[in-house]
Amino acid sequence: MEEKSPLLVEHRGLVSVVSFLQFSVLDRAQIDKIGAELVDLVDDKDRKNILINFEGVDYLSSTMLGKLVVLHKRLVQKKGKLKLCCIKASIREVFEITHLDRVFDIREDERDAMEAFGLGLI
């Protein structure tokens, strides 16, 4: 029996919007599964614009940050874009402390992030 995905992926035109189905992203096995699914969007499904919505996520491990960096690098190689949105202040602080807020395009809400792709999707 296949394990249920920890992610919800919706394709909206040229953008894949990814949401988490869990409020904590801490478990190593789940993080590995999430990382594989995100990379699969880029490598196997050839999606070049990805928006990750962190609404409802309360905790994020450093290992998950590493998976986001890998995804970002993959997208840069394919001339794609990654946007993050709806990040709680406590998690945003981790991005700031690690200076990853300078690497990632972090937006307040999903609408702003979608508009930032500049694809006229709203």
Range of the domain at 64: 7-116
pTM: 0.91
| Residues 41-98 pLDDT 10s | 999 888 999 999 999 999 888 899 999 999 999 999 999 999 999 999 999 999 999 9
CATH (domain of 35): 3.30.750.24
Using the predicted structure, report yes or no on whether residue 34 has a pLDDT greater than 70: yes
Quickly list DSSP for 90-109.
HHHHHHHHTTGGGTSEEESS
Query: Which among 53, 56, 52 has a CA at the least distance from the CA of 38?
Result: 52
Residue 115 parent element (H or E): helix 110-116
Q: Taking a C-beta distance cutoff of 8 angstroms, is the pair 82, 105 a contact? A: yes
Indicate the number of domains in the chain.
Answer: 1
The answer to whether residue 2 is domain-embedded is no
